[in-house]
Structure formats: structure tokens, C-alpha cells
Amino acid sequence: MTRRRMQAMTGFDRRPLAAFALPLLVAPLAALLASCGTPSDDEASKDAYLQYRWVVMGDGGTPLARVATRYASCPMIGIDGTVTRMSLRAAAGTAAQRTTASAAADSKPSAFPVNVCEASLPAGARQVVIGTQALPLPKADPQRILILADTGCRLKKADNAYQSCNDGDAWPLAQIATTAARMQPDLVLHIGDYHYRENACPSDIAGCQGTPWGYGWDTWEADLFKPAAPLMAAAPWIVVRGNHEECARAGQGWFRFLDTQPYGAQRSCDDPANDNAANYSAPYAVPLGSDTQVIVFDSAKAGKAALPTSDPQFKAYQDEFKTVAKLAAKARITSLFVNHHPILGYTPVAGAAPQGGNAALLSVMQNVNPSAYYPAGVALALHGHVHDFQALNFSSNHPATLVSGNGGDNLDVALPDPFPASVGPAPGVTVDRVTHSSTFGFMMMERSGTSWTYKAYTRAGKLMATCALSNNHLNCDKTGFLAG
């Protein structure tokens, strides 16, 4: 009997093992993931329909997988070999035109031609696949957290501000995302203002011709999902809401794509009648290992003026700060307070002294925690909103502050140098040292033993400053700094 006939009868093949192994060795990773992650015959799970896939961190550090899909139903998700179908979070459609921060003539209905699907991921999941793409998963003890804010491209008629969205030098989010992703962060912390393209680009402004505008999916894709894709593939995101995501602006997209609470009519910003509820969210904490937590605070609707105690907004923020105090009271846990508007930070003013922190929030905090502002347990505050980098240490007993709002939108003028020591950010707060720069960039928070260091980088990845936090004291080495 010939060898070939014996093989045909028995199914046994005497070819060298490499003949079988080679296809596995050279097969694309995507095909391998598809074979173990989702059924190949499931139409909804085909990559052609799946626009973007990402992970956001919810209350208590629960990771939430999300996908924007153009298919009519949600795709399958593979979690450590177990395959289930994702749940619909927000259905595709066009919301009725609502009142916005712009005049009616400069507004339009928000169209969302994608379904948003989600799935809560179990702690300790090792592999999660949607289509043929593996999702980034949180680590139990993250070592590197990428920090940025104010990343969108500004198109605002009321400000006569039209950023050159088509110019990577004028709007560098894509460069920042690529540079930061190469640094392999374990988490991304975005401190608000993802969306800025509110009004149409005028015909005589060359730098923004053809860009989408308004508050629908096309603008969210252009301002966030497409340029930030490398960072969304690199790590899960902790998302903080900014004033650009309040209901009269980009709140509809915020609740569909990023907010970590359940989606519904009351929390969608579709109907202005629900804005008084949808513009506020309960604070929550995301652990960073066993000794540190990020407390996420929604300050989207905070105005510039102090609030009287009779104002309903005062009561809303008062309740939120009481929740912060409870979260920060955990024993042996270092709490990092994160919200969009600087509280003990500065807003630079051309030709004048800088302005202090947000008066609305300060008025509430002073009522809840007189003179201290923050509850015990908060070691550091991180913010965006002001479009520069700031590291502030205080000689008074107040938590150090970092501002990282230089992620892409038009930069603010530089703070004065030398900085006027007599100008405090709030009553009773005395500045010890200010390190600052009006340069596009981002920050990286890195674990150093039992503490953290905070490094400021330019958009190209050049180190500008390294700040070490110890006992609520922030000491910065201005390596490579041009301002300070």
C-alpha cells in the first residue's frame, strides 16, 4: 500500500510538523482573534459595519466596552472565549432640533446614523474581542496614566474663532494621540471638552473648509474618534465631562458615547425639559491600584459667577461635593479630585493679572468645607478648561493643582512670568510656586514606588517638566521648559 493511499484511508499525514504550524505562525492576528472571539457568520459582527470600538471606566472601576456600528443590530462580543451579543445603548436616529448655545440659524438637528452598543466587562478579563479587534483592558495596578483635555477644534461664531481644523500644526490632536499612544499608557484620563465644532466654517476661512459642524455624529467623529483612535486602541479611558458637553452644546453625543451611567430619555439632552437633571451627574471613583483613586466630578454647567445658596444649582453642586467627601474618606487611599473647571488654578488674561478659580464651584465648596475648600483625603486636583499647562503648589494647607488643557484647542496666552505672588486663586489660598507653559501637549502620570510623578510633554513628546507629589506638596523640575 502506498503512503498516499494509507493517508487517504486513515487521515494520517506524515508531512513535517512545520507544514501544519507555518499557517498558524503567519496568520494575521486579526484572523486568530476572530476565530476565538466572534462567530464568523454573524453579520452584525463584521468589521465593515463597526466604526469605532473603545472602553470607558465606570463607577468603581467597572470597564464598559462600547462600539459605534452602522448595522441594525449590535455585534457579538467575545470575553475570554465566551461569546454574547452586546446591548443597545442608544439607537441610531436624528434628534429633533433643540435650543442650543448658538442662535437658531446657526444650529441644526443632531444626526446620529450609528447605533451605540455596550457591554459591562468582568474584573480580570484577559481578552475581549469585537469583530476582529481586541479591546484594551484595564490593569489591576496601572503604572502610567495619560492626561489631556480640551482636545477639539474650535469653530464658534459668537467668538469669531475658527481654528484651522485641516492643519495638523494648528490643531495637533492627531499628533498628540499618536505620540502618547507610543508611550503605552495603561489608562487615559480625559478631563473634558472633546467637541468644539459648533458652527459652520465661513466660506472665506480656508483652514476649516469642508469640516462638519453641529453636535451630531459626523462632528464627534472628526473632533474625537478619528484623531484619537490610536489612544482609544491603546488603553481604556476615564472620561470627565466638560462645559462643551453640557446639554445646550454637545451633551447629546456625550450621553450616547462617553457617559458611564445608563442611557435614557431623562439623561440624553434631547429634550431641553430634562436639562436640569441631565446637566448634573453624581461623582464616582475609579481605583488606580489599591492605594489611589480618581474621583470624577461633573462640572459641565458651572458658570463664572458665585452662586447664592437659594440657587438650585448651588444645591445640586452642594450634594455632589458631599458625595466627594464620602468618597475621599476612604482609609489609606490617596484621592485625586478631577473636574473640568480649575478651582485653585488660574485663567490668564492678556495685559492684566490672571483670574482665579471658578467662582461658582468655589462658592459651594466654601460652604461645605470653609477655608479648606476640599475635604480631607484629597491630595491633588486635576483640571482642564484653561488652555495651557499649570502646576501649582501652595504654602497654605491646600491640595496641589495641575491643569492640562493644552490638548488641541486654541491655546490661551501665557501666564505672567515672573508670576505675581500676591494673586491667589481663591481667598485664603497662598501660592508657593507656579510652573506653567502655553504649549500644545499632554501629561503622563507615573507610579514611583508608593507615590506618583507627573510629567508634562510637548505634542511631539519632548519632556518639559517632572513634578513629584509628596504629602500634598508638588515639586517640579522644569526640564526643557521655556516658561516658568
CB distance 320 to 280 below 8 Å: yes
Is 20 part of any domain?
A: no
Is 382 part of any domain?
A: yes
Is 106 part of any domain?
A: no
Residue 421: predicted pLDDT = 80
Inter-helix orientation angle 312-328/359-368, to 10°: 60
Provide φ and ψ at 161, rounded to 5°. -120, 115
**Structural domain span for residue 315:** 139-477
CB distance 420 to 227 below 8 Å: no
CB atoms inside a 10 Å sphere around CB 274: 16
Residue 245: predicted pLDDT = 98
Cα 53 from Cα 124, distance rounded (Å)? 19
Amino acid identity at 463? L
Helix (H, G, I), strand (E, B) or coil at 4: helix
Residue 31: predicted pLDDT = 47
- How much is the pTM? 0.91
Q: Is the dihedral of CA 325, 328, 331, 58 positive or negative?
A: positive
Residue 473: predicted pLDDT = 87
Question: What is the grid cell recorded at 37?
Answer: 472571539
Residue 399: predicted pLDDT = 96
* 257 contacts: CB under 8 Å, gap ≥ 6: 66, 68, 116, 220
Cα 330 from Cα 425, distance rounded (Å)? 28
Question: What is the grid cell recorded at 283?
Answer: 461623582
- 461-to-436, 478, 479 alpha-carbon distances in Å: 17, 15, 13
Residue 91: predicted pLDDT = 98
Nearest in space to 74 (alpha carbons), one of 54, 39, 50, 40: 50
Provide φ and ψ at 27, rounded to 5°. -65, 140
Question: What is the grid cell recorded at 460?
Answer: 511631539
Is 59 part of any domain?
A: no
Cα 461 from Cα 477, distance rounded (Å)? 17
Is 71 part of any domain?
A: no
Amino acid identity at 257? F
Is 68 part of any domain?
A: no
Number of domains forming the structure of the chain:
1
Helix (H, G, I), strand (E, B) or coil at 3: helix
CB distance 269 to 286 below 8 Å: no
Is 150 part of any domain?
A: yes
Residue 16: predicted pLDDT = 38
Task: State the DSSP H helix or E strand holding residue 367, giving kind and residue range, or none if neither.
Answer: helix 359-368
CB distance 363 to 310 below 8 Å: no
Cα 470 from Cα 450, distance rounded (Å)? 10
Cα 180 from Cα 199, distance rounded (Å)? 29
**One digit per residue, pLDDT tens: the chain, 484 residues?**
444 333 333 333 333 333 333 333 333 444 444 445 555 679 999 999 999 999 999 999 999 999 999 999 999 999 999 999 999 999 999 999 999 999 999 999 999 999 999 999 999 999 999 999 999 999 999 999 999 999 999 999 999 999 999 999 999 999 999 999 999 999 999 999 999 999 999 999 999 999 999 999 999 999 999 999 999 999 999 999 999 999 999 999 999 999 999 999 999 999 999 999 999 999 999 999 999 999 999 999 999 999 999 999 999 999 999 999 999 999 999 999 999 999 999 999 999 999 999 999 999 999 999 999 999 999 999 999 999 999 999 999 999 999 999 999 999 999 998 898 889 999 999 999 999 999 999 999 999 888 899 999 999 999 999 999 988 889 998 765 543 3
State the alpha helices, DSSP H only, in 139-205: 173-182
DSSP letter for 42, please: -
Is 175 part of any domain?
A: yes
Domain CATH for 278: 3.60.21.10
How does DSSP assign 103-123, residue by residue?
-GGG--PPEE-SEEEEEEPPT
